[in-house]
């Protein structure tokens, strides 16, 4: 178990297993970027919003950041320093505006769970979550559960079953549990449910190996 815990007082029972959002700095900018991504989709063209002016202001912000950015190898080494939780992944990371983000908590039975409500950026069918987004949330949740429950590794195989459409704009519960460990082969499963009904299930086979961290 190489995932440090951050608090024991989250809304879900058990320790929080993913990075905590800091009150300022890049986490605040990313939280605002998330609002912006959703607002762009919620607004669209033909509403009187000055999209060309907004594009120019966003490009200026991106330019301003790029001037301060280290090289990619330097940044990779920096983001993978230490052995703790990642702050930059596209599911839970407070530094990644793609992440909803999903907060996951560990339970005593070695399962993990979290709650998230998704907006228009995550849409597939009308008013519902994209099937590939459900796969992304579940792949990550199974990986976090492996860290919590015992040996962990990289995804070798993942099977998703879509039982009913997963709604946007409603709280979703995402869970994961490690089912078995046989040598280097780890089997972990999980699901996404809404209103007490299971929408998507996942079964994963993980192999206990890891890519080297950049230095």
Interaction residues for a second copy, span 120-149 (CB under 8 A): 120-128, 130-133, 135-140, 143
Q: At closest approach, how far in Å is the CB of 26 from a second copy? A: 5
- The separation between the first and the last C-alpha atoms of the chain, rounded to the nearest angstrom, is 22
Phi, psi of 112 (to 5 degrees): -130, 155
Among 8, 13, 156, 171, binds a second copy (CB under 8 A): 156
Instruction: Write out the binding residues for a second copy, residues 67-86 only, by CB under 8 A.
Output: 68-70, 72, 75-76, 78-80
Q: Which of 180, 140, 148 is nearest to 14 (CA)?
A: 148
Instruction: Write out the binding residues for a second copy, residues 31-50 only, by CB under 8 A.
Output: 31-33, 35-45, 47-50
Using the minimum distance from each CB to a second copy, give the nearer residue, 2 or 66.
66
Q: Which of 115, 114, 116, 189 is nearest to 149 (CA)?
A: 189
Among 81, 169, 170, 184, binds a second copy (CB under 8 A): 169
Q: At closest approach, how far in Å is the CB of 108 from a second copy? A: 27
Token pair, residue 172, equals: 């979703």
User: Residues 6 or more apart from 138 whose CB is under 8 A from it?
Assistant: 158, 160, 174, 176, 190, 191, 192, 200, 202, 204
Q: At closest approach, how far in Å is the CB of 148 from a second copy? A: 18
Do you know the residue count of the chain?
215
The torsion defined by the Cα of 132, 136, 139 and 142, in degrees rounded to 10, comes to -120
Query: Per CB under 8 A, does 180 bind a second copy?
Result: no
Q: Which of 156, 153, 135, 134 is nearest to 145 (CA)?
A: 153
Among 1, 57, 117, 171, binds a second copy (CB under 8 A): 57
Cβ(186)–Cβ(178) below 8 Å: yes
Query: Per CB under 8 A, does 62 bind a second copy?
Result: yes
Query: Per CB under 8 A, does 26 bind a second copy?
Result: yes
Using the minimum distance from each CB to a second copy, give the nearer residue, 7 or 210.
210
Instruction: Write out the binding residues for a second copy, residues 101-120 only, by CB under 8 A.
Output: 120
Among 4, 8, 65, 82, binds a second copy (CB under 8 A): 65
Query: Per CB under 8 A, does 184 bind a second copy?
Result: no
């Amino acid at each position: 178990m190489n995932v440090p815990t951050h608090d024991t007082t989250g809304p879900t029972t058990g320790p929080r297993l993913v990075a905590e959002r800091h009150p300022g700095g890049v986490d605040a900018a990313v939280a605002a970027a998330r609002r912006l991504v959703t607002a762009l989709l919620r607004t669209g063209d033909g509403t009187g919003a000055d999209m060309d002016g907004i594009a120019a202001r966003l490009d200026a912000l991106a330019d301003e950041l790029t001037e301060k950015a280290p090289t990619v190898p330097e940044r990779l080494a920096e983001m993978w320093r230490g052995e703790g939780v990642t702050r930059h992944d596209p599911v839970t990371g407070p530094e990644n505006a793609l992440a909803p983000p999903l907060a996951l908590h560990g339970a005593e039975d070695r399962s993990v769970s979290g709650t998230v409500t998704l907006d228009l950026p995550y849409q597939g069918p009308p008013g519902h979550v994209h099937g590939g987004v459900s796969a992304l949330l579940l792949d990550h949740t199974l990986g976090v559960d492996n860290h919590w429950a015992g040996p962990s590794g990289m995804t070798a195989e993942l099977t998703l079953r879509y039982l009913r459409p997963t709604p946007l704009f409603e709280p979703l519960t995402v869970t994961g549990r490690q089912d078995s460990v046989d040598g280097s082969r780890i089997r972990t499963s999980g699901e996404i449910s809404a209103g007490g009904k299971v929408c998507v299930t996942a079964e994963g086979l993980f192999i206990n190996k890891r890519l080297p961290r950049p230095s």
